[in-house]
A and B are shown apart, each in its own frame.
Chain A
Amino acid sequence: MKKKFSTGSLRNSFERRSFIIGSLQGGIGLLLAARMGYIAVAENKKYKMESESNRVNLSLIPPRRGWILDRNGAPLASNKADFRVDIIPDRLNDPATAIDTLGELLDLSAVQVKDLKAKLENVHGFQPIEVASGLDYDAFAAISVRLPDLPGVVPQRGFSRYYRTGPSVGHLIGFVGPASAEEYEKEPSQLLVTPGFKLGKDGLEKEFEQTLRGKPGARRVEVTASGRVVRDLNTREDTQGQSIRLTIDGPLQDYAARRIGLESGSVVVIDCLTGDLMCMASMPSFDPNSFSDGIGRVEYKMLSEDERVPLRNKVLKGLYPPGSTVKPMVAMSFLEAGLDPNESTICNGGLRVGNRVFHCWNRRGHGRVDMSKGIYQSCDVYFYYFAQKLGMNIIADMARRCGLGQTFPLPVTSQFYGTVPDPEWKLKKYGREWQAYDTVNATIGQGYMLFNPLQLAVYASRIATGNKIMPRLLLNGSKPSFDGMNFHGDHVQVIQQAMSDVINGPGTAGRARLPIDGIKMAGKTGTAQVVSLNVSSGKGGPWKYRDHGLFICFAPFDNPRYATAVVIEHGGGSGSAYPIARDVMTFLFDPEKGLEALHALEKQWGGTAQERLAARYAAYAAEAGVDIPPAPNDPADIARKVDAEARAAAAQPQEVATGAVTPGPEPVDDRQGGSPE
């Protein structure tokens, strides 16, 4: 059908079509009104929320960490208000330039800048990185002024962890650091990636993380699309974490750590009435203050290369052959097995068992030796002789009863068991029968025996009191009561007297006598060989071949209040250990006198432990330069690595023994033969 067009038909179609267009326009108008109604009314709630979440920015305020207090309420770990600068890698436009700029503004060293850049490569973009803390106000202001040019840089007022005594408490308390990717995965909370927030990485800081952490505060601010803060809406204060109160005596801990001086070793002090661990010093150590600021590559290299393993907590993870310090325990096992303490044997410098001769450390012999003399002169033959008669099993049982080779319910990240060898153990471990020489070795604390200083201290306290002292680290106000050890008769007093004679009588450690009237200390020396006598005499030569020096003691000897164990690694014999024990014990009863002794020594050593560490670091850094590999990214990795290395080191001497250890001469003091001073 062909349509005819005329003026009239066009007029009509114009009418029609303008109507269509009008309707279409009206329709679209209605559609728009409906659409707007839908968005503004039906979806109003959703969009209102989105508009609020646009407008309001919630930023967390890291909670102030709870303090770690010593037994008297003095802080071992506290918080210091300071200015700090973090960066959030995700928000940086040009990370390298930003760090260089910050380096200039904050006057960072080349190594620090390098460390920061290395960190930047290793972390997830949302994890804040600490650039510097403890800034003075001027540096802080300099950064704050430049903020518009430095997106991703977060300067803030905050708190940083402060350990007043530094290295003295490093191993015990641990340190804090920013959360690692792993920790964030385990606990994906916004707090963990809040700049300035740190959590415990090692030691008590890690064990009591949840207690110490507290609740974060929050700041609600109105921000523009570009993130500029327009105004504060409201702020909720943070809730500080709870404090924990330790049994540690802060000044004593610091004293003991400093008194160890140039040596590598540990000191443990236990309160014999309560089991309170008053001191768990392990040196050399690291400075937890600087670890908490982030571990630099120079610092890490210096510490990890040191053969004295300053990263290892030797109180819990140092395992040592106890040497003659086990003798009071062996003697106690004899007593409990029915041996009369007056029963004696003759020491001619050696004992023949079968066709072999086992030597006493004193080749000239001790003559007639009873139990008391066996202890105070540390006569090996006495113990060889009666151990052959009474057997290894009573000794091993007694060792375990005294806490040796045991772990204790303490809030620590890890503690090592060590080894109490007996025939069953040897068969299981090596598939060999127990030999006479194994017993001989065990009675003088050599061979397979390995204990840590904490166990030695617990053992000292138990043998001193006859009570089953359980060590504790947290002060909770209650006074614990202990089971007795069920030692019979006057056995405890026999051992107390013999150990007193070690110091106050004709014994091996006369110089350990306390310089305090009316208080007598009892103790036992130990010298543990590290290599056999034909490799090194153990007294001099390379450090790592020197004998360990050990000493356990308690005071007052007849009514024990404090028990102490001192272990000096490669100290060259017990002579390195007991002066420290003496001074620590002196400090307990008379701090003035103890400090006097320490100050004289520190003058020779070149300052306190903290000062020496700082000086050593400065010298090392100057020498090392910039080209060293970076420190592990997560400080927790360091703790793990140290733990693994400690385990490996502890496992090392555990080859099957093929003969008796020939004890080297005890570094008996000058008053040889026990003549009184």
Chain B
Amino acid sequence: MRSSLLPGPIAAQPWRVIIPLTLLTFFGATVLYSAAGGSFEPFASSQLLRYGIFLLLALVMSYMPQELVRWAAFPVYGVVVLLLIGVETIGAIGGGSQRWLNIGPLVLQPSELMKPAIVLALAQFYHSLPPGLTGSWRALIPAGVLIAVPMGLVLMQPDLGTSLAIAFGGAVVMFLAGLPMKWFVGGGIAGLIAVPLAFFFGLEEYQQRRVTTFLDPESDPLGAGYHITQSKIAIGSGGLFGKGFGNGSQSHLNYLPEPHTDFVFATMAEEWGLLGGLAVLLIFGLVLRWGLTVARRAPDRFSGLLAGGMTATIFFYVAINLMMVMGLAPVVGIPLPWMSHGGSSMMTNMICIGTIMMVDRWNKSRRSSSLQ
């Protein structure tokens, strides 16, 4: 794989993912530039800066040895749970819900950190579980607790989208860990029964409304269905080639809610059309395929589960966000990775990417060492 034309350290970087991601982020910045009315401030410039910083951090992270990561898995998980409890406590004292902690100049959102942390903890858990116990309750109950605790804490915030993301990441790791298929089938059936119950008893009223208006957005075109309707109008009016850069009326005239964060895809699609949308989908496809490839090449159980779970977490962001803006899912506050303006999601996704890069590096070093 190594090209002799490039110096070693540069050639050693995972360009297969850095190039598409950078392209995607620059495209995202272009959209943000337009959404800000033709200005780098306040969205595009900070987005690019953040990407640069987090890419460097991800690259640094990718050099971490596997032993260290495995050793740190549970402590990291524990710290993030403590942070979640901390957020909850501060929120309760402050009277109202709060999702972030202010640590000096940094604004930290522990529920975001939990997404990679749960994958890490579960990967470590199944790695250390003797293979023979995979079909027993010992494979299920501790993992279930590991997922349920942060889910419950995040739900209390309340943040349905993030808690679903945590559950999804965890579930994918369990699935990849080889737990009996019938458990997933049973779980699916139980979920089908639980969803209506959760809807009526578990959700806040505003969350319930989001679901009902998702099912029939036109029923309330100026109220809660407004977001979905306007987003579909933005995407639909873009057509094949879009209205042209800077010409999106839906975003520029404020019809589109959150044109620079959750609905950035609609902002893009209005100006770049179906072609822009397909390009974005293609890049996400490349990135995710790379993630799964890394996972499948992983030499051991831990790294395979880790890379697979991280890929799934990124996938969850992308899929839910795109389904939301196209009217296929209810409005949940999940941004589109690398395109939506915002530090937290950039951080989470870059941690995921960094982790996959790390696994990729483990793969390569294993392969090269076995070759030697």
Contacts and interface: CB of A to CB of B under 8 A. Distances in A.
Given A21-B292, A21-B312, A32-B322, A55 B277 contact: no
A3 interface: yes
B8 to A, nearest CB: 30
A33 B281 contact: yes
B299 to A, nearest CB: 10
B278 interface: yes
B177 A10 contact: yes
Given A39-B326, A40-B235, A40-B269, A51 B249 contact: yes
Nearest to A44: B239
Interface stretch (A22-30, A126-134, A243-251, A388-396): A22-30
Interface in A35-58: 35-37, 39-41, 43-44, 46-48, 50-52, 54-55
Interface string A610-629: 00000000000000000000
Interface string A1-25: 0011111011101110110011001
A51 B236 CA distance: 9
B210 to A, nearest CB: 19
B255 A225 contact: yes
Contacts of B305: 14
Chain A contact residues: over half helix, strand or loop, or mixed?
Answer: helix
Contacts of A223: 253
Nearest to B243: A51
B274 A40 contact: yes
Interface residues of B, number: 52
Contacts of A39: 232, 235-236, 326-327
A7 B301 CA distance: 9
Contacts of A222: 249, 253
Contacts of B296: 14-15, 18
Nearest to A56: B249
A41 B274 contact: yes
Contacts of B176: 14, 17-18, 21
A3 to B, nearest CB: 6
A226 interface: yes
B328 A5 contact: no
B236 A47 contact: yes
B320 to A, nearest CB: 10
Contact of B326 (A17, A36, A51, A52): A36
B67 to A, nearest CB: 20
Contact of B233 (A6, A22, A47): A47
Interface in A490-515: none
A122 interface: no
Contacts of B269: 36, 40
Contacts of A226: 254
B274 A13 contact: no
Contacts of A5: 131-135, 178
Contact of A47 (B178, B232, B285, B289): B232
A51 B256 CA distance: 10
A284 B286 CA distance: 89
Contacts of B289: 22
Contact of B254 (A7, A22, A50, A225): A225
A224 interface: yes
B237 A51 contact: yes
B234 interface: yes
Most buried by B among A5, A17, A230: A5
A51 B233 contact: yes
B253 A17 contact: no
B325 to A, nearest CB: 9
B153 interface: no
Contacts of A51: 233-234, 236-237, 249-250, 255, 270
A3 B288 CA distance: 32
Interface in A221-279: 222-226, 230
Nearest to B175: A17
B236 A10 contact: no
Given A10-B301, A55-B253, A48 B239 contact: yes
B319 interface: yes
Interface string B104-141: 00000000000000000000000000011111000000
B319 A32 contact: yes
Interface string B232-261: 111111111000000001100111000000
Given A21-B308, A22-B292, A36 B255 contact: no
A48 B248 CA distance: 11
Interface string B166-198: 000000100111101000000000000000000
Nearest to B172: A21
A55 B233 CA distance: 11
A86 B73 CA distance: 68
Interface in B317-368: 319, 322-323, 326-328
B14 to A, nearest CB: 19
A32 B132 contact: no
A41 B239 contact: yes
A18 B295 contact: yes
A197 B230 CA distance: 33
A519 B186 CA distance: 116
Given A5-B132, A18-B292, A13 B250 contact: no
Contact of A32 (B178, B249, B326): B326
B319 A37 contact: no
Nearest to A24: B315
A5 B239 CA distance: 52
A29 B284 contact: yes
Interface in B43-68: none
A26 B254 contact: no
A117 B8 CA distance: 82
B304 interface: yes
B240 to A, nearest CB: 6
Contacts of A52: 237
A43 B304 CA distance: 43
A283 B323 CA distance: 75
Nearest to B314: A25
Contacts of B177: 10, 14
Nearest to B133: A5
Contacts of B285: 26, 29
B273 interface: yes
B232 A14 contact: no
A40 B236 contact: yes
A46 B237 CA distance: 8
B330 to A, nearest CB: 15
B178 A46 contact: no
Residue picked from B131, B233, B235, B326, most chain A C-beta under 10 Å: B233
Q: Which of A11, A36, A222 has the most CB of B within 10 A?
A: A36
A22 B132 CA distance: 26
Given A10-B177, A18-B295, A51-B250, A40 B239 contact: yes
Nearest to A46: B236
Contacts of A29: 281, 284-285
23 contacts: A6-B132, A9-B178, A10-B301, A11-B301, A14-B177, A14-B296, A18-B176, A21-B175, A21-B176, A21-B312, A32-B322, A32-B323, A32-B328, A35-B328, A36-B277, A39-B326, A41-B239, A41-B240, A46-B236, A48-B237, A54-B250, A54-B255, A224-B253
Interface of B: 131-135, 172, 175-178, 180, 230, 232-240, 249-250, 253-255, 269-270, 273-274, 277-278, 281, 284-285, 288-289, 292, 295-296, 301, 304-305, 308, 312, 315, 319, 322-323, 326-328
Query: Which 8 pairs from chain A and chain B are nearest by CB?
Result: A47-B236, A51-B237, A13-B178, A5-B134, A225-B254, A10-B178, A40-B274, A55-B249
Given A32-B322, A36-B274, A39-B326, 18 more contacts: A5-B134, A6-B132, A7-B301, A10-B301, A13-B178, A14-B176, A14-B305, A21-B175, A21-B292, A25-B288, A29-B285, A31-B328, A35-B326, A40-B238, A47-B237, A51-B233, A222-B249, A226-B254
Interface of A: 3-7, 9-11, 13-15, 17-18, 21-22, 25-26, 28-29, 31-33, 35-37, 39-41, 43-44, 46-48, 50-52, 54-55, 222-226, 230
